[in-house]
Amino acid sequence: MRLLLIEDDPEAARFVLKGLREGGYSVEHAADGRDGLFRATEGKYDAIITDRMLPHMDGLAIVQVLRQQGCDTPVLVLSALGNVDDRVRGLRAGGDDYLTKPFAFVELLARVEALLRRKAGPQATTTLKVGDLELDLLGRRARRAGREIDLTSKEFTLLEFLVRRAGQVVTRTMLLEGVWDLQFDPQTNLIDVHISRLRQAVDRGFDRVLIHTVRGAGYVVRDDGT
């Protein structure tokens, strides 16, 4: 997987590059907007990560130019700006995801992974399966080992979100954005309580746990196999 990072802060770039490379990606780096746009149009990348405020050219302008040229490479916009509407503007300009600095590196990693998977395309399907857990998306019912699981509508949406991204780390902010459609940073850890209730329903009484906690990052639904 080839990624392009457009970031003018050398220290931040070093840290992000190191982390992404450790995560198994091959990453190229552009230090200003003009160079970034040039590389983005020339090279073949699976995803682009760009800062918003860059010398010569703004990050959002890069995204707009790319989209006008018909390039559909997923773009993750990083921003140190404070405006609550920056995210909306970033997405409107054609960005696929938006992350405000500072962020935990796992957050970036999880989002990059989600972008790359999304590029692979969502499969049009009516059932999802992980191990012996089966989700009927039309009837909005979940069964585990053939037994119906009693879930509220929100719990089903939460489980569906996780199962669709089976094997991927999903962070708490991603869940807030994706399941609750909320962009805010709650003081208390609300998501953990919801997950633990979901666990009660899905994993209790089974030897094989499907919903795993990734320490310091979030959650992953995964069938570890036997």
Q: Which is nearer to another protein, 119 or 154 (CB)?
A: 154
Residue 42 binds another protein, judged by CB under 8 A = no
**Partner residues linked to 29 by β-bridges:** 5
Q: Phi-psi bin for 116: left (phi > 0), alpha (psi -120 to 50), beta?
A: alpha
**Binds another protein by CB under 8 A, chosen from 184, 224, 225, 226:** 184
Peptide bond into 74 cis (omega under 30): no
Q: Two tokens at 63?
A: 């995204």
DSSP-derived secondary structure letter, 139: T
Residue 180 binds another protein, judged by CB under 8 A = yes
Please, what is the minimum distance in Å from the beta carbon of residue 146 to another protein? 28
Identify the CA nearest to 69 among candidates 99, 35, 42, 92: 42
Whole-Å CA distances, 171 to 20, 194, 206, 216: 17, 13, 24, 9
Q: Which is nearer to another protein, 46 or 203 (CB)?
A: 203
2 to 41: interface string for another protein, x by CB under 8 A: -------x-xx--xx-xx----------------------
**Binds another protein by CB under 8 A, chosen from 3, 40, 48, 100:** 100
Q: Which residues bind another protein (CB under 8 A)?
A: 9, 11-12, 15-16, 18-19, 53, 80-85, 88, 100-105, 154, 180-190, 193-194, 197
